[in-house]
Amino acid sequence: MKKIPVKPLWWHNGLYVIDQRKLPEKEVILKLDTIKKVYDAIKNLKIRGAPLIGCVSAYGVVVSFIENENLPLEKLKNKIKKDIEILKSARPTAYNLFYALNRMEKVVNMFNGDSKKNLKKLLIKEANNIYKEDLHACYKIGEYGNALIENGMNILTHCNAGGLATSGFGTALAPIYVANQKGKKIHVYVNETRPVLQGARLTSWELEKNRISYTLICDNMAGYLMSKKRIDIVIVGADRVARNGDTANKIGTYSLAVLANYHKIPFYVAAPLSTFDFNIETGEEIIIEQRNEDEIKKINGKYICPKNTYVFNPAFDLTPNYLITGFITEKGILKTEDIKNLGG
Amino acid sequence: MKKIPVKPLWWHNGLYVIDQRKLPEKEVILKLDTIKKVYDAIKNLKIRGAPLIGCVSAYGVVVSFIENENLPLEKLKNKIKKDIEILKSARPTAYNLFYALNRMEKVVNMFNGDSKKNLKKLLIKEANNIYKEDLHACYKIGEYGNALIENGMNILTHCNAGGLATSGFGTALAPIYVANQKGKKIHVYVNETRPVLQGARLTSWELEKNRISYTLICDNMAGYLMSKKRIDIVIVGADRVARNGDTANKIGTYSLAVLANYHKIPFYVAAPLSTFDFNIETGEEIIIEQRNEDEIKKINGKYICPKNTYVFNPAFDLTPNYLITGFITEKGILKTEDIKNLGG
C-alpha cells in the first residue's frame, strides 16, 4: 500500500478523528468516547463522507461496548444494538452507515460465547476489517481510475471525496493521488460546494497538503470552464448508488452531470462497493436528507440574507444512471449493467 | 407609472445612492460628491447592475462638473471628458456604462455656448433623460414580460437584476413585480449567486420588501429543482448583449441556460436596449472582467480555504444566443433575428 494522503480517523484504545468543521483553519483532534459524541460527530458533520461515516460508525459500536462494559453480557448486547439504531438515525442518505452498522450488528447477533472480552475482540476485529477494506478499496479505485487520467489533464471534482471522506485514500481523489504519485502532470478544479463548502475547506486543504496543483472555483463557474474546454473529465464520489446506477451525491452533482453531458465530457462516479445499495432498484427510493436552513442563511455566524428568508437545503441530489459514464470501484471501472450483476 | 419597488439612486442637488455592500444588514445612503467616490462606488460594487451603473455614471458626469465648476469653460470641458474616461475604466463588461457616458460626452462635445450654467443644465437634463428612459424601459420590460408569467408559476432568477440593479423597477424582476401588482400568484427561486451573493443579499431583500413569495437556494441546487419540475421559467438580466444575441451576464448564467435547455424550460434575458452593444457582432468580443481572488477566498473577512489557494474569478460568463428563448425588452419580446434589425 502506498503512502496514505490523509488520516481522518484512528483507533488507539479509543476512537480519534479530525474535527472537519474546524478545517482548514485548525487541525483539532476529537476523542469520541461516548455514543453521544459519535452520533453528534456524524450528525453535525464533524466527520462526513460516506466511507468515513461507515468506518467511524463501526468503531462507534466498539465505543458503545466500552461505555457499557460493566453491564451483564445480554444487557450489554441489547444496549449495543440500541446504540446501533441511534447511530443509524444520524444521517439518512449515506449507505455506508447502514452497511457498516449491519456488519457490526451481525457480530453481536452471531456471538454465542460468554466472554465479554471475546465479544470486544470480535467487534474491534470487524471494525478494523471495515477500515482496512475501505483503505484497500480506495487504493484500488485510485489504481483503476488512474487509467482514465492522461498527462496534462484538467479534472473537475465536487465536494470532498478525498482522504477526509474515507479511511484516508479518497474515492474521487484516489485516482488523482495515484496519477500524482506516478508522476503525471495534472490540475484539479475544485468546486467550493455550497452551502457547507467542503470543496473550499477540505478538498483544497488535502490537495495543498499533498502538493497537487488545483484551482478553487464557485459552483456556478463549472459550466463556463467546460464551455472554454478547460475540463477534460469530471470525477465525483457517491453517498449511495442504487442497483440501476442512479447515484445520490452532494447537492450540485446532478447539475454537473448535465453540464458534462452537454459538453461531451466524461463523468465518473468513484465509490467502493460498500456505497452500493443492492436492496433498492432505482434512485427514487433513496431518501434525500434536508438540512438546517442556517447552513445557507449564515456564513461564519453572520446572515447573508434577510432573517425571514425561506430556504431549500437538500444535502444531496440524484444523478440518473444515463448521465454517468462509468463507476470507478475496487472491482474495476463498471458500467450500469455490471452493477446489477454484482449485486446478485 | 406604477409604484417603484426600490429607489437605489436619486439626484437632489447631488448624487445619492444606497450602499449595496451593506445590504441586507443596513440601509446606508452615500453621497457621491467627487469623481473618485463615483468611480469607487462602481468599481467596488457599492452600486452594481448594468442599468444602474449607466444611471450613476451619467449623474457622475454632473458630479464632475460641480467638482470643477471654478475652471474656465474649455478647461472644465476637458476635465469632464477626462473624468468620463476614468469612469469608463471602472468596469469593462456592463455596456450601459459606455452607453450612458457616450451620451454625456456628446453633450459636452456638442456644447457651443459660453455659459457654464447652461452646460450644467444640459448635463443634468441628459442624466435625467437616461434615468427616466431606464425607468420607462424597465416598466415596459415588466409589462411585456408579465405576458410570459402565468398564475401559479415558479420563476428562477440569478444574481440581482431587480430595482437595485436599475433605476428602480428592475429587468429580470420587472415582470415579477408587474405580475405581482396584477394579482398573479407567483413564487420566485433566488440563486444566492456566489461569490458576491447578490441573490442572497439583494434579490431576497427586494422581494421581502415587496412581499413577494421567494425561496433562496445555493447556485448548485437549480438543476435539482428543474429535474423535480419545480421551475417553470428562468429570467435573468444582462450586462451586455451582442448583435447576434450572445449575452454576458453574471457568472453562473451560462450553466443555468444549459440546464434550462436540457429540461426544456424557457430561458429569457430581460434587458433594456441600452444594454445591447450593436457595435459587436458576437459575444466573443465581450471582455469578461476578472475580479479579486479574495471575493471567493474570504467570506465576512474570514478565509474559507487555505490562504495559498489559487482561484478563478470571472465576474461574468457568456451565454450563446441559441440557448436563449427570447429577450424581454422595452420594444417587446424579441428573438435573436430581431436584434440585428433593431441595431440597423
Contacts of B254 in chain A (CB under 8 A): 223-224, 227
Length of chain A: 344
Tell me which chain A residue has its CA closest to the CA of residue B320: A227
Active site residue B33: no
Q: Where are the domains of chain B?
A: 9-139, 145-342
Q: What is the pLDDT along chain A (344 residues), one digit of tens a residue?
A: 478 999 999 999 999 999 999 999 999 999 999 999 999 999 999 999 999 999 999 999 999 999 999 999 999 999 999 999 999 999 999 999 999 999 999 999 999 999 999 999 999 999 999 999 999 999 999 999 999 999 999 999 999 999 999 999 999 999 999 999 999 999 999 999 999 999 999 999 999 999 999 999 999 999 999 999 999 999 999 999 999 999 999 999 999 999 999 999 999 999 999 999 999 999 999 999 999 999 999 998 899 999 999 999 999 999 999 999 999 999 999 999 899 888 65
The two beta strands, B247-250 and B316-319, are antiparallel
Contact (CB, 8 A) for B251 and A218: yes
Interface with chain B: mutation pick from A305, A307, A319, highest number of B CBs within 10 Å: A305
| Identity of the residue in A221, A254, A313 whose CB atom sits nearest the CB atom of B312 | A221
Element (H, E) at A37: helix A35-43
pLDDT at A2: 72
Closest CA to B206 of B248, B171, B182, B255: B171
Tell me which chain A residue has its CA closest to the CA of residue B21: A304
pLDDT tens digits, B244-273: 999 999 999 999 999 999 999 999 999 999
The reply to whether the predicted model has a pTM over 0.95 is: yes
Cell readout for B313 is: 474569478
User: In which order are the strands placed within the sheet that holds A316-319?
Assistant: A276-277, A240-242, A247-250, A316-319
Half-sphere exposure of A282 (CA within 13 A, CB side): 4
pLDDT tens digits, B149-195: 999 999 999 999 999 999 999 999 999 999 999 999 999 999 999 99
Shortest distance, CA B266 to any CA of chain A (angstroms): 17
pLDDT tens digits, B276-287: 999 999 999 999
* CA atoms of B158 and B210, how far apart (whole Å): 18
pLDDT tens digits, B111-130: 999 999 999 999 999 999 99
Q: Which CATH superfamily is domain A145-342 in?
A: Translation initiation factor eif-2b; domain 2 (3.40.50.10470)
- Residue B110 pLDDT > 70: yes
Buried b (16+ CB within 10 A) or exposed e, B127-151: beebbebbbebbbbbbbbbbebbee
Give one word for B287, left, alpha or beta, with left for phi > 0 and alpha for psi -120 to 50: beta
Tell me which chain A residue has its CA closest to the CA of residue B201: A305
Q: Which CATH class is domain B9-139?
A: mainly alpha
**Which ipTM score applies to this complex?**
0.96
Closest CA to A315 of B224, B271, B83, B161: B224
Contact (CB, 8 A) for A247 and A319: yes
Contact (CB, 8 A) for A219 and A192: yes
